[in-house]
Amino acid sequence: MIINNKIDPEFRYKKMLTKIRESGGRITSHRLALIRLLAASEGHPNATQLYEALRRQFPTISLATIYKTLALLKDEGEVLEIDLHNDSHYDGNKPYSHPHLICTHCNRIFDGDIISGIQNLNQEIEEKCNFQVSRHQLVFYGLCEECQQKVS
Amino acid sequence: MIINNKIDPEFRYKKMLTKIRESGGRITSHRLALIRLLAASEGHPNATQLYEALRRQFPTISLATIYKTLALLKDEGEVLEIDLHNDSHYDGNKPYSHPHLICTHCNRIFDGDIISGIQNLNQEIEEKCNFQVSRHQLVFYGLCEECQQKVS
DNA sequence: TTTATTATTGATAATCATTATCTACAACTA
DNA sequence: TAGTTGTAGATAATGATTATCAATAATAAA
Ligand SMILES: [Mn+2]
Ligand SMILES: [Mn+2]
Ligand SMILES: [Zn+2]
Ligand SMILES: [Zn+2]
């Protein structure tokens, strides 16, 4: 089910469709296409990027539909919103809290869920701060491997 | 210089004034008052909260002035912006990257810089992801000590 | 102290991502 | 196949933050 540090997009696709059906939602062609994109979440796209990607095949699709479907999936816990400065990006492949690495040079967003220290953090916070963590958004800014060479 | 897990506000106040002078900026009464607030940064206020706090003593102060001074101090590295969903909050007491704990019940923002695991994270990211970290924004959402009892 | 220079102010318009609104339409179901 | 109703697309509204600009005040020079 995990391929190349990524959950099988096909599995995620079906899971999202099921969740929508179970909540009484309808499956439209536009939703199908959007969910297919989100299931892979290549590059953690934002609403506009998803809109542009879908516009070719569906010229009549509306940006509002993107936002409404994203909100729906977020409510169902099937999409993670990465809240950046006036620009939300989305991960439908790993809809749970996990760290992200953002390159300040090429602006790409990488998954940082290989990092092992995260689990311990929650526990340390609960012990030292008496704070009960339910979710988190951890963002690290810097230079990705490729850009380190370009910039230096 | 560190009192009660907080940098001496007086020290921060003087440091910010020096930085503004050094960069050719002028010291106005409104800036003085705002910097005094930021140096303590009680509760990590946002622009509107700073505005409301200063309005009593300075009825003619403008929200634009708050934003412009915040941008100036941020450029000088003397204020940390905590970028939340369409609502930036500020820490002028600890202007460097550090974790924050946000209570989803009372909405208060706590400092989480007691946590020791952070230093190790950057190193782990550089090793495992080949990503060179320059700054971060780490936000943990959950229930503060007081609210855990109220909610349960 | 007086004057000249120019950064800063406050009022207000502009921006821009995201939401809300509303009617025609299409997805499900009996 | 028709009826019910959730959804789509167009567009207006929202709201935090920025940009604009003439009047003013902070600083330095005289
Ligand atoms: Mn991700
Ligand atoms: Mn802080
Ligand atoms: Zn890069
Ligand atoms: Zn609380």
pLDDT band at B152 (very low <50, low <70, confident <90, very high): confident
Same domain, B60 and B15: yes
Structural domain span for residue A104 = 100-151
For chain B, what is the domain count? 2
Test B143 with A129 for CB contact under 8 angstroms: no
Last residue of a domain, one of B61, B91, B121: B91
CATH number of the domain where residue B134 is located: 3.30.1490.190
CATH number at residue B33: 1.10.10.10
* pLDDT of B146 higher than 90: yes
| pLDDT one-digit tens code per residue, A38-73 | 999 999 999 999 999 999 999 999 999 999 999 999
pLDDT score, position B3: 72
Q: State the pTM of this model.
A: 0.95
Distance CA B65 to C1' D27 in A: 20
Q: Is the CB of B33 under 7 A from strand D?
A: no
What is the pLDDT of chain B when averaged over all its residues? 95
Is the same domain home to A45 and A114?
Answer: no
- Reported as a pLDDT band with limits 50, 70 and 90, residue B5 is confident
**Residue B34 reports pLDDT greater than 90:** yes
What is residue A35's DSSP assignment? H
Chain A interface includes B123 (CB < 8 A): no
Q: What is the band of B46 on the pLDDT scale with cuts at 50, 70, 90?
A: very high
Mutate to test the interface with A, among B81, B83, B121 (most CBs of A within 10 A): B121
Which of the four pLDDT bands, split at 50, 70 and 90, describes residue B4? confident
- The pLDDT assigned to A22 comes to 95
How high is the pLDDT of residue B117? 82
Q: State the pLDDT confidence band at A117, using cuts at 50, 70 and 90.
A: confident
A112 pLDDT higher than 80: yes
Shared-domain flag, residues B74 and B27: yes
Residues B52 and B72 in one domain: yes
Query: Per-residue confidence at A152, pLDDT binned at 50, 70, 90?
Result: confident
- What's the confidence (pLDDT) of residue A2? 76
Choosing from B46, B74, B91, the residue where a domain stops is B91
Write the DSSP string, chain B.
Answer: -EETTEE-HHHHHHHHHHHHHHTT----HHHHHHHHHHHH-TT--BHHHHHHHHHTT-TT--HHHHHHHHHHHHHTT-SEEEEETTEEEEESSS-S---EEEETTT--EEE-TT-STHHHHHHHHHHHH--EEEEEEEEEEEE-HHHHHHH-
Residue B1 has pLDDT above 90, yes or no: no
Q: Quick check: A32 and A10 in contact, CB under 8 A? A: no
When the pLDDT of each residue in chain A is averaged and rounded to a whole number, the result is: 95
> Is A130 strand, coil or helix?
coil
Same domain, B76 and B51: yes
A81 and A107 in a single domain? The answer is: no
Do residue B76 and residue B110 come from a single domain?
no
Query: Does residue A134 sit at the B interface (CB-CB below 8 Å)?
Result: yes
**Which amino acid belongs to residue A134?**
S
Task: Express each pLDDT in A80-101 by its tens digit.
Answer: 999 999 999 999 999 999 999 9
Same domain? B146 vs B79: no
Q: Is there a single domain that holds both residue A85 and residue A133?
A: no
B69 touches strand C (CB under 7 A): yes
pLDDT tens-digit readout, B88-121: 999 999 999 999 999 999 999 999 999 988 888 9
Residue ending a domain, among B91, B113, B133, is: B91
| Residue-wise pLDDT tens digits, B50-65 | 999 999 999 999 999 9
Indicate whether A115 pLDDT > 80. Answer: yes
| B105 in the same domain as B71 | no
Confidence at residue B53, expressed as pLDDT on a 0 to 100 scale: 97
Asked if residue B108 and residue B62 are part of one domain, the reply reads: no
Same domain, B135 and B115: yes
Mean pLDDT of B14-43: 97
Rounded (5°) CA angle B76-B82-B85: 135
How far in angstroms lies nucleotide D21's C1' from the CA of residue B24? 22
The reply to whether B24 Cβ lies less than 7 angstroms from strand C is: yes
pLDDT at B113: 93
What tokens does A86 get? 């006036």
Among all bound ligands, the one having the nearest atom to the CA of B142 is: 4
The tens digit of pLDDT for each residue in B114-144 reads 998 888 899 999 999 999 999 999 999 999 9
Nearest to A125 among B101, B121, B132 (CB): B101
Say which residue, B53 or B2, is predicted with more confidence. Answer: B53
| Closest-CA residue to A135 (of A62, A93, A82, A92) | A82
Asked if residue A25 lies in contact with residue A90, where contact means CB atoms within 8 angstroms, the answer is: no
Residue of A nearest to B81 (CA): A85
